[in-house]
């Protein structure tokens, strides 16, 4: 159930990214909602789940919008996995750690995306424009995380059956 919920969440983030966040006026200041959702997912459900969801949503993005298959699936898979690795380094999961992970991974994802696109001759990009865009997106994604973290953390935290309950689902205390 939590896997379905996680997939729906990440997929909905992609749909919003590709629709509302592409409208004129919003376009420049729009966060990468997929990345933010994946980082929060990684912090509450672990590396394996985040990796799988990252690859799946990346494949959808590649299939529908991308010039070829593999670019976004690898990028988002790596984002999911390394977000969990970064967050796991600390004893307590908290907003600050997740915020830092979001900023670092945004920077890495932007450079990976731009680098691979450039390397495969799909676009002519300047280093300065990639740097400017990645720094700007770090800021925007960080702010988006601050807004979405409380909501998505509760929504994505898997519910577990308590040993002493009568079958009702209890929230996982983490």
Partner 1 sequence: MRVSRWITSRRLFVLLVAVIVVIAAAGVTARARGARTAWPLRVVMDVQNTVSGWLYRPAAWLSGVMSGLHDLRTLYQENAALKKQLLSYSALQAQLQLAQEENVQLSKMVGFKTSNANHWTLAPAHVVGRDPSSWRATLTIDAGTAVGVQVNMPVISPEGALVGKVIAAGRLSSTVSLITDAQSGDGVSALVLADNNSPVFGIVTGSEGGPTPLSMQFLSAVANVKVGQSVVTSGYSDIFPKGILIGTVKQVGQGMPGLTRDAAVQPAADLDNLQDVFVILRGQGS
Complex with partner 1: residue 27 or 168, whichever CB lies closer: 27
Answer yes or no whether residue 71 interacts with partner 1 by CB under 8 A: yes
Task: Name the DSSP letter for residue 139.
Answer: H
- HEC per residue, 81-114: HHHHHHHHCCCCCCHHHHHHHHHHHHHHHHHHHH
Binding mask 73-102 for partner 1 (x = CB under 8 A): xx--xx-----xx--xx-------------
Answer yes or no whether residue 125 interacts with partner 1 by CB under 8 A: yes
Choose the binding region for partner 1 from 15-23, 92-100, 141-149, 153-161 (rule: CB under 8 A): 15-23
Choose the binding region for partner 1 from 36-44, 108-116, 155-163, 165-173 (rule: CB under 8 A): 108-116
Please state, in angstroms and rounded to a whole number, the distance separating the CA atoms of residues 68 and 76: 15
Report the chain's C-alpha Rg in angstroms. 17
Please state, in angstroms and rounded to a whole number, the distance separating the CA atoms of residues 149 and 40: 7
Answer yes or no whether residue 63 interacts with partner 1 by CB under 8 A: yes
The closest alpha carbon to 51, from 3, 108, 106, belongs to 3
Answer yes or no whether residue 117 interacts with partner 1 by CB under 8 A: yes
Please state, in angstroms and rounded to a whole number, the distance separating the CA atoms of residues 79 and 118: 20
The site for partner 1 (CB under 8 A) is made up of: 14-25, 27, 32, 34, 47, 59-61, 63-74, 77-78, 84-85, 88-89, 110, 113-114, 116-117, 120-126, 128-129, 133, 137
């Amino acid at each position: 159930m939590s896997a379905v919920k996680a997939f729906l969440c990440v997929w909905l983030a992609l749909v919003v990214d590709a629709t509302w966040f592409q409208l004129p006026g919003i376009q420049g200041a729009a966060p990468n909602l997929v990345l933010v959702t994946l980082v929060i997912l990684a912090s509450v459900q672990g590396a394996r789940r985040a990796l799988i969801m990252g690859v799946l949503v990346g494949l959808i993005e590649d299939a529908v919008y991308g010039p070829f298959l593999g670019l976004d699936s690898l990028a988002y898979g790596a984002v999911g996995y390394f977000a969990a690795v970064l967050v796991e380094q600390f004893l307590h999961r908290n907003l600050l750690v997740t915020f830092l992970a979001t900023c670092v991974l945004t920077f890495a994802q932007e450079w990976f995306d731009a680098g691979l696109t450039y390397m495969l001759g799909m676009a002519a990009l300047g280093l300065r424009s990639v740097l400017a865009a990645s720094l700007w997106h770090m800021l925007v994604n960080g702010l988006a995380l601050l807004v979405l973290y409380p909501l998505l953390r509760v929504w994505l935290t898997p519910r577990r059956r308590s040993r002493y309950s009568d079958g009702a689902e209890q929230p996982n205390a983490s």
